[in-house]
Amino acid sequence: MATQKAEAPKGKLGVLVVGLGAVTTTFMAGVLMTRKGLAKPVGSMTQYDKIRVGKGEDKKYLHYKDIVPLAELDDIVFGAWDVYPANAFESAVNAEVLKAKDLLPVKEELEAIKPMKAAFDKNYAKRLDGDNVKDVKDRWDMVEQLREDIRNFKKETGVDRVVVLWAASTEVYVPVDENIHGTLEALEAAMKADDKEHVSPSMCYAYAALSEGCPFIMGAPNTTVDIPAMWELAEKTKMPIAGKDFKTGQTLVKSGFAPIIGTRCLGLNGWFSTNILGNRDGLVLDEPANFRTKEVSKLSTLESILVPEDQPDLYGHGNDEDTQYYHKVRINYYPPRNDNKEGWDNIDIFGWMGYPMQIKINFLCRDSILAAPLCLDLVLLSDLAQRAGRYGTQRFLSFFLKSPMHDYTQGEVPVNHLFQQYVMLKNAIREMGGYEADEEID
């Protein structure tokens, strides 16, 4: 896939979100308020970050929009699917993330965003009880109805192009089955056979989006576009895909702090992470099968940054097998906190001559406040990638994601190191702006 300079955007950009909950209503309200000059999009790389292009006398530090043709915030048109019928304003009020002063100035615009019926299977999120749900014959019918929704949204809003973003709850864990997920033909056959065990609703959304010419972003840890069948579909439709799971709180800390331990050549005996969270995401993750999906994505971050095989003296300690440090992740549902989650990390390190030390990190964060700018960046950069002729897995978007997609069938190891991910992001922006990708990942 040759990289080319991105074409300028034409017309409006539709953003169809799966899940009209705390994260997406915070994202929408923030974009609408920023458009009115009433808020600042703090935390958004596309709106604030500056990167270097050129070297020597030609060196300049520019905002992304001055390097590549990003869509303007004024050109975004929102739509959604959700199992609950509440419009975006009602949902934002229920989520209790934003104050009235940050919602009332855009009340009418938010009220106009009414969710379409969701493609839903209660077996994948047992704690959710909404009735704004499609009546489907089988998984293939689910796909067809979603495709029709996308076509209708385009027609009704007049948008030129659409990006689909999953920001709904975490589904139960679906192990990759080569016989079903290995090829597009096998996946389509499973959908037509209504194989509910191997084909999740999120796969139906992704299939529908890609088939309708929309980039797809997986913002949860679900098994969705990280299967060979979907890579094949993305190649066939020439669409970008990205995932998985927004990197907001604890994993962001981990991907930024683990490099400190590694770069300083300190040893690690164990890293224990625990979280408390009280929003709808926390409720769904209180179900063990759903937590398993999240656990897999959160555990994978550390192991590719601090690698026992590379430094056995430093990282080959901790658990019973004595092959590497001990790493444990926990999430606890705690309703009083709502969207204000708290992450504790206890890190047992050792230094000179093996003497033990400890690091404690306590991150009192706001889940949706951290996720909203990621939604904006992922949407704008996926749209940009499509206009630059990029398709398939967009590894340069790993910076925003907890468990970056990679080709595990070829033994590829994902890049989880935050600063290496940042180099990948900067190089891609340079290339799509017609500059040379001039930084190396060491």
Number of neighbours of residue 309 by Cβ within 10 angstroms: 9
Q: What are phi and psi of 286, to 5 degrees?
A: -70, -15
Q: Which residue has 């067809």 as its token pair?
A: 144
At 150-180, the pLDDT tens digits run 999 999 999 999 999 999 999 999 999 999 9
Q: How far apart are CA 247 and CA 251, in angstroms?
A: 6
Structural domains for the chain: 13-246+368-432 (3.40.50.720), 250-364 (3.30.360.10)
Q: What is the pLDDT of residue 322?
A: 59
And the tokens for 179?
């016989």
Low-confidence ranges of the chain (pLDDT < 70): 1-3, 297-299, 317-322
164 class by beta-carbon count within 10 Å (0-12 exposed, 13-18 middle, 19+ buried)? buried
And the tokens for 65?
């929009």
At 57-84, the pLDDT tens digits run 999 999 999 999 999 999 999 999 999 9
Q: What is the pLDDT of residue 285?
A: 73
Q: In the predicted model, what is the mean pLDDT of the chain?
A: 94
Report the run of H or E that residue 428 belongs to, with start and end. Answer: helix 418-432
Pinpoint the alpha helices (H) of 304-350.
312-315
pTM of the model: 0.94
Assign 332 to helix, strand or coil.
strand
On whether the CB atoms of residues 412 and 298 are closer than 8 A, the answer is: no
